[in-house]
Structure 1
């Protein structure tokens, strides 16, 4: 009986350790897949037509995000867990931008990052979804030069 209990404990430990390792591999693979630079093409379902579209770069090495809102610079961190994606508190420079359209895009872009709950990456298009209702917050095209 003692041997059976020990054997069961060993099998139980191996099973749960391997599940944890599999999850880590999936998380790393997802983070590597997301690594790259992106140009935002739509916010809240509306295409951006301005030449100062927000851009950002995701790095799997340190789970960092860096970019520009079209006027101000941003940097911070992101957390990835399977298909769940969220951004931590972002630091933003505080330049005054005179163009009201750029300022609106900046607010919408920052709101999209702050409200992200999940994502898809399909044919080089990153789509960020709301953490509350899965509505599309942002579409961004991955730079193929990375």
Structure 2
């Protein structure tokens, strides 16, 4: 009986320790606003670009250069999928329009992410497309 009780307690302990998955841990770290610092490897961005995650509602929003965007996302392990993103319709000119087009195009390609400290890397496979800091 003691052996059975010990086995049961051990299994419960293992289950409790194993409950925190990478997705849950990453998702918790994903919550909040991040300031976008780089698009692809070489593109510098204006300070005001941002992306925010609400892990309770699984919503994403941000500023893409001229307009605001919002939508939903889902996370499983270290993969991320964005639902359709809605944007405001403000008229953009020049560089703001180019940055916005690039940002929204890159967001549509993202399928993975990683977080190191306060730095978020949004990726297509292993290639980092967007870097942001919290």
Both structures adopt the same fold (TM-score exceeding 0.5): yes
CA distance in 1, matches of 2:97, 2:91: 9
SS in structure 2 at match of 1:121: strand
Q: 1:136 aligns with which of 109, 128, 132?
A: 128
Residue pair 1:54, 1:109 contacting (<8 A) in 2 also: no
After superposition, the Cα gap between the structure-2 partners of 1:50 and 1:77, relative to the gap in structure 1 and judged at 3 Å, is same
Partner of 1:95: 90
Residue pair 2:69, 2:87 contacting (<8 A) in 1 also: yes
How far off is 1:50 after superposition? Answer: 2.8
Name the count of aligned residue pairs. 118
Partner of 2:58: 63
After superposition, the Cα gap between the structure-2 partners of 1:30 and 1:49, relative to the gap in structure 1 and judged at 3 Å, is closer
CA distance in 2, matches of 1:95, 1:82: 36
Q: 2:78 aligns with which of 64, 78, 83?
A: 83
Give the alignment's Cα RMSD to 1 decimal. Answer: 1.9
Give a deviation string over 1:9-68, Cα, whole Å, max 9, x none: xxxxxxxxx6xx94xx423332111101011111011242534x4211101101100111
Unmatched 5+ residue regions in structure 1?
1-17
Instruction: Give the TM-score taking structure 1 as reference length.
Output: 0.73
Residue pair 1:70, 1:102 contacting (<8 A) in 2 also: yes
Unmatched 5+ residue regions in structure 2?
1-14
CA distance in 2, matches of 1:47, 1:114: 17
